Amino acid sequence: MKKQFAHKKTEKPVSGWVRKALFGGAALGMVMTLGVPSAMAGNGNDDFATVTPYSRIARLPVVKDAYDQVDHVATYAKVKAAALALANYVALYKDATVLGDNIIKGEDWVLGGTSLACRKTQTCTADEIKKAIIEIPTPQPINPNDATYLATGTVTEANTKKASVLDFCNEVFAKQALGVSPIVGDKKVVNGYSHTPALPCKVSIWNDDDHIYVDMKDPNAIFSLFFTDVLFSAEMADPAFAEAISDLPPQVKSEIRAVVLHAMNEFDAKTKTVDKALGSKFLNMDQVVDVVATSPYQSPYKHVGYTKADGSAFTAADSLNVTQAIINTMSINGVAGAGTHPTIVDGVTLDSILSAGSSWRSARATPMTLPGNNHVIEACSPKYAKMAMGTGVHHVTALPCEITVQIIDKDKNGTAETLAISYLDPHFMMNAMFGDITEEEKIAFAPVTDYIMDDLQKIVAAALATNSGIALNPGVQISYNMLP
């Protein structure tokens, strides 16, 4: 396990053929735009732009008392108010109308976790907007001066500081990223649905004693890390495809930044614009390839395909029903019984076979559905979330754990005979998204990635066996080559 955290060279001879594949023609423009190394100077990795998984967009002032000391409780309340102000803006306003179509090139950005009516017509209730904000717990107290905390050192549930996370969705960009719509002509992203666990775009708001921060998962780095199969695809030989797709991640980033900065400046005129790279640094394309090649599946994802025992095809309703069965089996955050799992599996409760204290739950009562009927489940364990946030809250947009469900025509016979369930692999996530943590933290986390992956698969297996209402054949792993 320990080796999973090191940027060790893969045993495969990646360096030479990676550069040859990437720099042999039209792909050069794309990799330069994405920040991966270019060969403009003729020396391979000597000329590149560093990419990081996260980017800081804005900084707001904390609240201080009459003695110029941080008011911890008031500052935390301001974080929640700022998150709600951003959520309200994304849900209720047309971006092109407010910001101009010279800034917003795609469709309107919408708030993930809200109803279809809200996303399509801005007919949103205050309650659904508030519930769309995911609260990720940290090990830190809201108020370090709380009497219980001072007396015992224990952070109570009421005093647990949480980071607010919002899902940003854009139909045009999502369709292109997921291979639903072509990038140019009739050329689409390869194996589009398989990238669904890397979406949607996430923005976080959180605070320390110095500032309130607004961060995002950086689209340039995310595309480099989670879409390597596209970088190495045959479509990249088409200059028009390479140029069009190279414009996608930076445009996504610029639009999200514009939305966030507008909303935060409306919320607090003292908001400061920030453009700061955060997290582990990928200094060249070899490092990007290494983090994929040394992960257990040589991919950011694990995909498992299921077929019906009676041989019939899946319907869109089947896919949604299975997704909801997984959510119900996992339990739902904010609902009585969240984190407990009484489902019986082979004569014992599901809780008895999950890792101790994991208390898994779905962040949402229903899935987010992305273009192409890709259903997204956001799974969270307070125990593991707090462990992850203990390494730095700027990592929060790497959470929750994503599971996606889709029906596909794997054998290309014209019917959707396969139910594909995909996981973001925790081992890959630790290497790619938490690469900046200390060596001691990496060692401590080594067994945790196994626990997380094992738990999620057990929850899914229990849901399919007992709650889906569909008799399925055993799952078979589906692999897509993420490297040349």
Per-residue pLDDT, 284: 87
Per-residue pLDDT, 285: 86
Q: Label residues 197-226 b or e (16+ Cβ within 10 Å = b).
A: bbbbbbbbbbbeeebbbbbbbbbbbbbbbb
Q: Please enumerate in sequence order all residues whose Cβ is within 8 A of that of 211, keeping only pairs 6 or more positions apart, or say none.
A: 59, 60, 61, 62
Calculate the alpha carbon distances from 270 to 70, 185, 265, 266 in Å: 17, 45, 7, 10
Domain count, the chain: 1
Specify the amino acid at residue 114: T
Per-residue pLDDT, 128: 97
Residue with tokens 């955060």: 278
Q: Of 243, 169, 239, which Cα lies nearest the Cα of 199?
A: 169
Count of C-beta atoms within a 10 Å radius of residue 470: 17
Q: Please enumerate in sequence order all residues whose Cβ is within 8 A of that of 481, keeping only pairs 6 or more positions apart, or say none.
A: 229
Q: 3-state class of 62 per DSSP?
A: coil
Supply the pTM of this predicted model.
Answer: 0.90
Measured on CA atoms in the order 225, 227, 233, 235, is the torsion positive or negative? Answer: negative
Dihedral over alpha carbons 69, 71, 76, 82 (to 10 degrees): -80
φ/ψ bin of 44: left (φ > 0), alpha (ψ from -120 to 50), beta (otherwise): left
Q: What is the pLDDT along the chain (484 residues), one digit of tens a residue?
A: 333 333 333 333 333 333 333 433 334 444 444 444 332 223 334 445 789 999 999 999 999 999 999 999 999 999 999 999 999 999 999 999 999 999 998 899 999 999 999 999 999 999 999 999 999 999 999 999 999 999 999 999 999 999 999 999 999 999 999 999 999 999 999 899 999 999 999 999 999 999 999 999 999 999 999 999 999 999 999 999 999 998 999 999 999 999 999 999 999 999 999 999 999 999 988 999 999 999 999 999 999 999 999 999 999 999 999 999 999 999 999 999 999 999 999 999 999 999 999 999 999 999 999 999 999 999 999 999 999 999 999 999 999 999 999 999 998 889 999 999 999 999 999 999 999 999 999 999 999 999 999 999 999 999 999 999 999 999 999 999 999 7
Q: Which long-range contacts (CB under 8 A, 24 or more apart) does 268-274 make?
A: 268/60, 268/61, 268/82, 270/60, 270/61, 271/58, 271/59, 271/60, 272/58, 272/59, 272/60, 273/57, 273/58, 274/56, 274/57, 274/58, 274/59
What count of residues does the chain have?
484
Question: H helices within 285-438, ranges in order?
Answer: 285-293, 316-330, 382-389, 426-433
Query: Is 483 within a domain?
Result: no
Euclidean distance between CA atoms 467 and 343, whole angstroms? 9
Q: For residue 442, give its domain range.
A: 2-478
User: What is the H or E stretch that residue 262 is in?
Assistant: helix 248-267
Q: 3-state class of 377 per DSSP?
A: strand
Q: Of 268, 133, 271, which Cα lies nearest the Cα of 204?
A: 133
Q: Of 225, 455, 426, 445, which Cα lies nearest the Cα of 357?
A: 455
Euclidean distance between CA atoms 135 and 445, whole angstroms? 22
Query: Is 484 within a domain?
Result: no
Contact 111, 87 (CB under 8 A): yes
Query: Is 47 within a domain?
Result: yes
Per-residue pLDDT, 45: 46
Specify the amino acid at residue 422: S
pLDDT in tens, 207-219: 999 999 999 999 9
Per-residue pLDDT, 49: 72
Euclidean distance between CA atoms 259 and 97, whole angstroms? 12
User: What is the H or E stretch that residue 173 is in?
Assistant: helix 171-177
DSSP-assigned letter for residue 237 = G
